[in-house]
Amino acid sequence: MTEADGVGSLPTSSWRALSDRERFVLDLILGREFPGVVALREQCDHCLVRNVPGRRQALDIETDSQYRANLKDIHTGRPGFAQYNDSDGMPVIVGLHVRDGLLFALDVYRIDGDEPSIGFIDAVYFDVQYPDLDGPRPLYWPKIHEDESGSEGGGPSPDLGDQ
């Protein structure tokens, strides 16, 4: 990418600012405190996005932020992800990718590989997960929890505060 491609080091062709809803979803994913999250949040203020060709809902992210995240506890390059249900109940993952301490992509995919019918910008409820920080949980909705009798049950939890 050259300066002729955009303002400073950011490209302009097909790149745009985050929509309010895209920023909302990024803020959800970056809502938990962990080493490097402050830099990633700051990068959201200085980034452009573009739709990935052939992937209607995925976004490439470019930032000219001077702040790089030190993600020593994030081994996969994916600090967290949001999950919602598609219209048929199939889980859809919205994963944030970081490369070399910089925001890199927001990937959106259904567990079964089909294209989601509900876009992440239209989803109403998200379950946010941090597998590198908390250990893996099942990717399938609903979350598994124990009911009062000690047996396993299921059901979406509206409380995202502890995640």
Q: Locate tokens 């600090």: which residue?
A: 79
> In the predicted model, what is the mean pLDDT of residues 99-115?
90
**Domain-embedded: residue 61:** yes
Cβ neighbours, 10 Å, residue 144? 11
25-29, 66-70, 155-159: least confident range: 155-159
**Domain-embedded: residue 105:** yes
**Domain-embedded: residue 7:** yes
Q: How far apart are CA 4 and CA 105, in angstroms?
A: 23
Q: How far apart are CA 120 and CA 156, in angstroms?
A: 17
Position 83 scores a pLDDT of 92
43 lies in which domain range? 3-154
34-43, 88-97, 144-153: least confident range: 144-153
Q: Count of alpha carbons within 13 Å of 68, Cβ hemisphere only?
A: 5
**Domain-embedded: residue 76:** yes
Checking if the pLDDT of 162 tops 80, the result is no
**Domain-embedded: residue 161:** no
Contacts of 104 by beta carbon, 8 Å cutoff, 6+ apart: 60, 61, 77, 97, 98
Position 47 scores a pLDDT of 95
Q: pTM value?
A: 0.72
**Domain-embedded: residue 159:** no
In total, how many domains does the chain have?
1
Q: How far apart are CA 12 and CA 150, in angstroms?
A: 55
Name the DSSP class of 5: G
Number of residues in the chain: 163
**Domain-embedded: residue 94:** yes
**Domain-embedded: residue 146:** yes
> In the predicted model, what is the mean pLDDT of residues 33-56?
88
